[in-house]
Amino acid sequence: MDSSALQHYRHIEVHRIAGALGAEIRGVDAARPLGDDVVADLRQALLDHLVIFLRGQRLAPPQLLAFAGRFGQPVEYPQLKGLPECPLVTPVIKLEHERENFGGVWHSDTTYLERPPMASLLYAVETPPFGGDTLFASQYAAYEALSDGMKATLAQLAGVNSSAKAEVSRTREDRLRDAGAELKVLTGVHPVARTHPETGRKALYVNFGHTVRFDGWSEAESAALLAYLFKHQVRPEFTCRFHWEPGSLAFWDNRCTQHNPVNDYHGHRRVMHRVTLEGDRPY
């Protein structure tokens, strides 16, 4: 590997996987209690690379939850129930007969909440024999590539985000039906360009999965500009791609990334465990 792709923190190894975002972490066993110095390195790696990956982990749900809890406050996912034995760990499953995958569009997690999550962690329990990768996109890079005129325009706008946007609610239908639950219609209004509370950097904060219009605009008036932003913010040079194996763990900063689980493994099962960390009000 090119030495430019390898960075040495004090207690972990961080290997970049793409130019815009994404890094694999080596030298960490997430099932074991971690010292504060290791946690600090991991948090810095998350801030530096936006999404980090750990392979070869062996995490029972309580261990996944304990690891996540070193970085923030775990919270319930608003649309699905967690595991009976560990309610703050949510199973994300696609079964062999299903055609839609959960959340299978570009999105930031639950931006329809007043306080969207700071981050999410996803652990692979069972993976298909092929496919099932997840794409991630840097919304720092997306914002910074805009013209000064567009940035000035977006600075005046807020996006209206809904849990009931058809493109993403369709991907939840099987899981909600199996759980005997109904889709909760939730709405959150957030700046189109938000400021990251830890880095101070601006990130584009609309997404295809949840943003329906600009605040004070109709859906028809919003459609053209949103369509441009949705296409722009996932340009290939802003992205990385992660191939899952059993025991893989992804940890992404929801304040400055989007992700898209690729639905290309019909006929096979994919079982993941997810933990969501509490966030703050975007500004």
What are the DSSP calls for 34-77, one per residue? --HHHHHHHHHHHHHHSEEEE-S----HHHHHHHHHTTS-EE--
Residue with tokens 């500009």: 225
Output the DSSP codes for 82-127: -BTTBTTSEEEEE-TT--S-TT-SSB-TTTTSSS--SEEEEEEEE-
Please calculate the CA angle 186-188-192 and round it to the nearest 5 degrees. Answer: 145
Catalytic (active-site) positions: 107, 109, 259, 274
The number of angstroms, rounded, from the C-alpha of 99 to the middle of its chain's C-alpha atoms is: 22
Taking the C-alpha atoms of 146, 152, 157 and 158 in order, what is their torsion angle to the nearest 10 degrees?
60
Cβ atoms of 80 and 169 closer than 8 Å = no
Listed in sequence order, the residues at least 6 apart from 12 whose beta carbon sits closer than 8 Å to its beta carbon are 25, 26, 27, 28, 38, 41, 42, 45
SS3 253: strand
Phi-psi map region of 178: left, alpha, beta (phi>0 left; psi -120 to 50 alpha): alpha
For residue 95, which amino acid is it? L
Parallel, antiparallel, or unpaired for β 23-26 and 51-54? parallel
